Chains A and B, each alone.
Chain A
Amino acid sequence: MIEFQLDRGSGVATYLQLVHQVKQALRLGTLRPGDQLPTAREVVESLAINPNTVLKAYRELEREGLVAGRPGLGTFVEQGIAGPTLADHHRLRRGLEEWVRQARAAGLDEEDLRALFGAVLAGSAREGVA
């Protein structure tokens, strides 16, 4: 089960934050096909947000084919995002952790790390490597 968090100062629309968090959980494999999303009531009871916001987020996820509503039962995950690459996550994460260790040892702070990672990501997308 996923537990939503809100970043009220982020400027990102609340329903999008919920959408992103579900996708993030699907990528990391913490949500898998068949898992149930919390009901609108459960979400609003923990976050104090309008129920229509939760329904909007779920509709968006449904539109993308990631979840499906089953009348009277709730909303369930239809398909993961990670798919076959999930098995590689562990290995890639270890590599990234090693890279972060080296960068820190070289004196880079967190902002430097983000900037560097973002630049490499953007560069590889341009070259079509990603």
Chain B
Amino acid sequence: MNALEVTGLAVRRRRSWVLRDCSLAVPAGRVAALVGPNGAGKTTLMHAAVGLLAPARGGVTVRGQAAFVAQDKPLYETFTVAETLRFGRRTNDRWDEEAARRRLDRLGIPLGGRVGRLSGGQRAQVALTLALARLPDLLVLDEPLANLDPVARHDVMRSIMAEVAERGLTVLLSSHVVSDLEDTCDWLIVLNGGRLQVSGDIEDLLGGHSVLTGPAGASAAGCDVVGESRTGRQVSLLVRGGPPPDPRWNARRPGLDELVMGYLRSPASAALPAPAEVAG
């Protein structure tokens, strides 16, 4: 069962396409990482997923309710945390005040404190609490860890993971830092220049690719090469599937960062499920 389905999505801004022909599905209960360089269309895809913009073509289906936290975590600086909660309660039909208060209390964030006085990590937690109070089935987070120190990053990630464990929530989050996603995400979406390059289960993707290193003359015939890099006499390849017959290659499983970088450096390569799988 999919929590999010995107089919043939295209978004145009003025005269250029920000997203082109994107089709993907995220199964329920997954934590999906959306990665790509600046201007790849990540934020646009997230906006389309939560219904903040109307696509030129294609469509988005969310199973249940979606909640979105924007990158700049827009909160009223002069409000207290309690006033921020009250505002959320008035503007949302679905609202779990009890859970929101319990969450803030557990995090040690005082209800009487002014939002403008909170630390970056606390503001991120307040924004997250507001989104969770709306009892979403799909939580969409645009760069939730940006501008946070390492301790706050870890704390925010811990609390997102705890919500996933407790409520079986599906999460779609974007990040620039692949190492932040390594142990937290189990689904990968790579977007590059408005096009989808990768969408799939991280374990399957890592298991389905190899990093080959070998001498410059080694033959990669019979191999599906994603990208390559050369240093002096050594060549390093990211390939789909196992190693080619040439015994001079040394093969190993890629890390998540190697997989992501391999695709981003070769925008023409793609690892996507067949259209029928997305539709199913």
Contacts and interface: CB of A to CB of B under 8 A. Distances in A.
Interface residues of A, number: 17
A47 to B, nearest CB: 8
Nearest to B156: A48
Contacts of B166: 41
A49 B162 contact: no
16 contacts: A40-B165, A41-B162, A45-B158, A45-B159, A48-B157, A49-B161, A49-B184, A50-B183, A50-B185, A51-B161, A51-B164, A52-B29, A52-B30, A52-B186, A53-B183, A54-B165
Contacts, number: 47
A46 B8 CA distance: 40
Contacts of B31: 50
Contacts of B183: 6, 8, 14, 47-50, 53
A25 interface: no
A19 interface: no
Contact of A48 (B29, B154, B186): B154
Interface in A14-70: 14, 39-41, 44-54
Given A50-B31, A50-B164, A51-B165, A44 B185 contact: no
Contacts of A52: 29-30, 186
Q: Which of B30, B157, B165 has the most CB of A within 10 A?
A: B165
Contacts of A46: 158
Nearest to A49: B183
A14 B166 CA distance: 20
